[in-house]
Amino acid sequence: MEEDWKRAKGPFAAIFTAPALWLFVFFVVPLAVIWAYSFGQNVGPTTIEISGTFRHYVRAADAVYLEIFLKSLWLAALTTFLCLVIGFPVALAITFAPDKAKAWLLLLIMLPFWTNLLIRTYALMAVLRREGYVNNSLGWAAEHMGWAFEPLPLLHNNFAVILGLVYVNLPFLVLPLYAALDRLDRSLLEASLDLGAGHLRTIWEVVVPLALPGILSGLLITFIPALGSYLTPDLLGGPDSQMIANVIESQFKRANDWPFGSALSFILMYLTFIAIAGQAVITNRRRRLAR
């Protein structure tokens, strides 16, 4: 076996070199440049001097930006929680659905990925706006019942942002949950039911612990893009609904303060690394306890 691996090193290196080079040139190098900018300062309209300063990271701790960071974390956490509440029953239903229905249900979950995010967001705006489908339907129902109706403010507020984030990120949670639930040993569920546990108790005490690694992965996969969302709060939110990605965009475009925008970007990336490390610690601890 060792000899086979030694003979395969050449073909493996040939296959690996091209994607590794691509990742290095178009991923690692740009990130390194932005990281270096975060320690620099503007010395001209288009010139940045790398001086090794930490003042942009210190500036990010100002109350204004700290509040936006905390609000972004809260919106991302709430979005992830709502996706879990909605997505877990959906993934469970898909898991126990007949094979033919399962294929169609999975297709419906993946269908949004075939449509551009911008188009989906504008479609949601058409549903939520003052003269949109929701308000028009409610107005029609109120008119036929003889009630007075004032269009609901469903757009350009925090409600619209949360609804949009859940709408966009829900498939990211359903698919990992389904993958984890589909691998469960169903004989354990049958044993739990035979021993007198109800369906809800079986789900809580058997299904959830066994599927916990998949649940944690799904939460992480949902939380990270929700935290860095830009388009959804920009189009669906109002002045008080901006998240940290919108502030980063304004620093690069309108304020032309690339060093500060770079520092904010990497603080967001550091938070992402912390979340990934936390998930890895929990997973490793569960594995050690399982042994």
What residues pair up with 47 in beta bridges, in sequence order? 44
Evaluate whether residue 31 is within a structural domain.
no
Query: How many other C-beta atoms are found inside a 10 Å radius of the C-beta of residue 261?
Result: 22
Cα 129 from Cα 123, distance rounded (Å): 10
Evaluate whether residue 15 is within a structural domain.
no
Evaluate whether residue 153 is within a structural domain.
yes
pLDDT single digits (tens) 96-106: 888 888 889 98
Q: Look at residue 287 in the predicted model and tell me its pLDDT.
A: 74
Chain-centroid distance of CA 243 in Å reads: 14
Query: How many other C-beta atoms are found inside a 10 Å radius of the C-beta of residue 229?
Result: 24
Evaluate whether residue 33 is within a structural domain.
no
Evaluate whether residue 97 is within a structural domain.
yes
Evaluate whether residue 196 is within a structural domain.
yes
pLDDT band at 25; cut points 50, 70, 90: very high
Q: Tokens 């029953």, residue?
A: 89
Task: Fill in the DSSP letter of residue 76.
Answer: H
pLDDT band at 44; cut points 50, 70, 90: confident
pLDDT single digits (tens) 121-165: 999 999 999 888 888 888 888 888 888 888 888 899 999 999 999
Evaluate whether residue 230 is within a structural domain.
yes
Q: What is the largest CA-CA distance in the chain?
A: 84
Evaluate whether residue 129 is within a structural domain.
yes
Q: Tokens 């001209």, residue?
A: 44
Q: Look at residue 8 in the predicted model and tell me its pLDDT.
A: 65
CATH number at residue 96: 1.10.3720.10
Structural domains of the chain, count: 1
Q: pTM of the predicted model, to two decimals?
A: 0.86
Q: Is the pLDDT of residue 232 over 60?
A: yes
| Percentage above 90 pLDDT, the chain | 41
Domain span at residue 204?
62-290
Cα 37 from Cα 42, distance rounded (Å): 9
